């Protein structure tokens, strides 16, 4: 095993990149002919939380049909929009007293 984990990368792996106010999750094609696709997220806490949910679902798959379009591991655009609406924003971290500066007070 290399310093970067297992090689080749697992079949549930995805690509991630960002632009100014959006980020993208690239889902590779499956061997059965399903085409590669890209999911677009707002660059917000809710967008990140939703992407993490999808990545966790992909990591927990054991069968190829669990990676097909229309599943939690590869939602349709409509499903993704519903997930974004339903996802709660991650809470902002609470600073510890020792991390506060005079400007914070």
Q: Which residue carries 């409509």 as its tokens?
A: 78
pLDDT of residue 69: 86
Interatomic CA distance for residues 44 and 4, integer angstroms: 27
The residues, any chain, with a CB within 8 Å of residue 27's CB and separated by 6 or more, are 14, 36, 37, 38, 39, 74
- Please list the alpha-helical segments (H only) found in 1-105: 45-59, 77-86
pLDDT digits (tens, 9 = 90+) for 40-54: 999 999 999 999 999
Q: Which of 8-17, 20-29, 66-75, 84-93 has the lowest mean pLDDT?
A: 84-93
């Amino acid at each position: 095993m290399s310093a970067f984990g297992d090689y080749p990368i697992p079949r549930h792996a995805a690509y991630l990149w960002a632009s100014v106010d959006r980020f993208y999750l690239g889902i590779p094609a499956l061997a059965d002919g399903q085409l590669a696709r890209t999911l677009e997220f707002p660059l917000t806490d809710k967008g990140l939380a939703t992407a993490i949910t999808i990545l966790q679902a992909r990591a927990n798959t054991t069968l190829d049909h669990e990676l097909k379009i229309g599943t939690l591991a590869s939602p349709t655009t409509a499903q993704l929009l519903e997930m974004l609406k339903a996802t709660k924003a991650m809470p902002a971290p609470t600073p510890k007293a020792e991390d506060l500066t005079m400007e914070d007070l």
